[in-house]
Amino acid sequence: MTVMKPRTRRDFMRTAAMGAGAAAVSTVFPAISADADDAILVGGLHDLSGFIDFAGIPMNQIMLMAIEEINAQGGLLGREVKGVVYDPQSNMSLYSQYATQLALKDKVAVVMGGITSASRETIRPIFHRFKTLYFYNTLYEGGVCDRNEITLGTTPAQTVEQLVPHTMNLWGKKVYTIAADYNYGQITAAWVKRYVEQNGGEVLSTDFFPLDVTNFGPTISKIQEAKPDMVMSVLVGTGHLGFYNQWAAGGMKDEIPIASTTFGAAGAEIEIIKPEVANGIITCYGYYPQIDSPMNNAWVESVKKRYPDDTPFLTELSAFTWEGMMIWADAVRTAGSLDRMALIEVMESGKEYEFPSGRVTIDRKTHHAIRDVYVADLQDKQYVIKEKFSQVQPVDTQTVCDLEKDPNANKHYEISLN
């Protein structure tokens, strides 16, 4: 098993200072071809407008920063790397249109994109069909089985399984779940129920809400009557942020604590919701900007230096987009080629990558990340990390996906919890 050496703080700060100016470092790194016709193209397909643009904009910023960093190190195969960015506007028709365009017209070498599960399942089959390597860097409900996709986002078996016992040990065994009414919310709520019951608890009720629902008054009354020990929130998007404000306004914040599989996952929530409302919400993710390691501290500073006026939210989504770019670039260097299957074989080889989030390995069976995850308590817009779990496997997806046995798989399985 080979290990990518961690980059030092000096490496990160040097790259941040150089920015996109490859010419400034020609004495250190090989010169690269700046011929537009010779550039290696990377597709970016993130919502830059629409209901989830607060997640897509930082992901795009970090993708472009990673491209600058790769070019500052001499590019790939002696060639410049360039981004081809489209805004699908949270519209599935546009996702389909732009995915096809990236694959057939632009002929990009790789795509970073998709945020919601609906967007992923719109574009994933397109990239599979046209043999365009695809990275999905967002936490989701698990179950994708596709050798053409590298999935860096966490699944419920990696985060919810840690979050549930941690919070039940703090607060009690009676849980009330509120969730977004689409596949991520429905499936994750089912996992919550599974893990609560495995830990000797009970889910008193599970309520689902369309993404455009903003009034949670009736639900808050139901929760008050049920008297749970805690609320587990699987709500999604800016509309659902109304729940937290209404919860605090109703005097419930100090009565019943909240854990969430989603709050702060895209970052904007922490800025939108006042600290007196959000303080004390506990989450579990594969990345927090407060991870105290030399590598993460240097990376956070490099992001701030690159984007001093519009610093992107550093979350699992944006950090894993950077990881995706670095894993892909390493595979190109290692293979000495852009051949898709050669790159896939490099990533399947068991390499360990040291990143700001911790150690990452691509699981050969599922193409999901094996990674460190963290439980954190939000206080005054800062995460206080309470617990770390090392090298957590995506065991949920491993129950339905084995790409070693079926390398031609092309399916999103709904994992049975019966």
User: Residue 325: pLDDT band by 50, 70, 90 thresholds?
Assistant: very high
Query: So what's the pLDDT on residue 34?
Result: 59
Written as six digits, the tokens of 324 are 């995706």
Strands 230-234 and 258-260: parallel
Query: So what's the pLDDT on residue 13?
Result: 37
Gap between the Cα atoms of 216 and 350, Å rounded? 46
Which tens digits make up the pLDDT trace of 240-279?
Answer: 899 999 999 999 999 999 999 999 998 888 988 999 999 9
H, E, C per residue of 63-112? HHHHHHHHHHCCCECCECEEEEEECCCCCHHHHHHHHHHHHHHHCCCEEE
344: helix, strand or coil: helix
User: Residue 28: pLDDT band by 50, 70, 90 thresholds?
Assistant: very low
Q: What is the length of the chain?
A: 418
Query: So what's the pLDDT on residue 406?
Result: 97
**φ/ψ (deg, to 5) at 417:** -110, 10
**For residue 196, pLDDT beyond 60:** yes
Which tens digits make up the pLDDT trace of 378-405?
Answer: 999 999 999 999 999 999 999 999 999 9
Same fold, 9-155+289-371+394-412 and 160-260: yes
CATH number of the structural domain 160-260 = 3.40.50.2300
> What average pLDDT does the segment 363-388 reach?
97
The mean pLDDT of the chain is 91
Which tens digits make up the pLDDT trace of 48-76?
Answer: 999 889 999 999 999 999 999 999 999 99
31 or 113, which is more confident: 113
**φ/ψ (deg, to 5) at 139:** -60, 145
Give 357: exposed, middle or buried? Use CB within 10 Å, 0-12, 13-18, 19+. buried
Please give the sequence-ordered ranges of beta strands (E in DSSP) within 147-269, or none if there are none: 149-151, 174-180, 202-209, 230-234, 258-260
What superfamily would CATH give domain 9-155+289-371+394-412? Answer: Response regulator (3.40.50.2300)
The residues, ordered by sequence, that sit 6+ positions from 261 with a Cβ below 8 Å of its Cβ are: 139, 156, 159, 160, 163, 188, 192, 232, 233, 234, 283, 284
Strands 358-362 and 369-379: antiparallel
**For residue 11, pLDDT beyond 70:** no
> What average pLDDT does the segment 14-34 reach?
42
317 or 34, which is more confident: 317
Gap between the Cα atoms of 316 and 297, Å rounded? 15
Query: So what's the pLDDT on residue 31?
Result: 61
The residues, ordered by sequence, that sit 6+ positions from 53 with a Cβ below 8 Å of its Cβ are: 47, 90
Gap between the Cα atoms of 354 and 299, Å rounded? 12
Q: Which residue has the tokens 């609906």?
A: 118
Q: Do residues 190 and 164 make contact, with C-beta atoms less than 8 angstroms apart? A: no
Q: What percent of the chain has pLDDT over 70?
A: 91
**For residue 20, pLDDT beyond 80:** no
Give 89: exposed, middle or buried? Use CB within 10 Å, 0-12, 13-18, 19+. middle
User: Residue 36: pLDDT band by 50, 70, 90 thresholds?
Assistant: low
**For residue 17, pLDDT beyond 60:** no
Gap between the Cα atoms of 211 and 190, Å rounded? 18
Gap between the Cα atoms of 101 and 115, Å rounded? 19
User: Residue 283: pLDDT band by 50, 70, 90 thresholds?
Assistant: very high
26 or 388, which is more confident: 388
> What average pLDDT does the segment 114-124 reach?
96
**For residue 30, pLDDT beyond 60:** no
| Cα dihedral sign, 134-135-138-139 | positive
Q: Do residues 175 and 203 make contact, with C-beta atoms less than 8 angstroms apart? A: yes
Whole-prediction pTM: 0.90
Task: Using CA atoms of 256, 262, 263, 264 in order, give the dihedral in degrees to the nearest 10.
Answer: 150
Gap between the Cα atoms of 46 and 27, Å rounded? 35
The residues, ordered by sequence, that sit 6+ positions from 223 with a Cβ below 8 Å of its Cβ are: 176, 178, 231, 252, 256
Q: Which helix H or strand E contains 146, and what residues bound it?
A: strand 144-146
Kindly list the domain boundaries of the chain, sorted by start residue.
Answer: 9-155+289-371+394-412, 160-260
Query: So what's the pLDDT on residue 268?
Result: 85
> What average pLDDT does the segment 340-348 reach?
98
> What average pLDDT does the segment 364-388 reach?
97
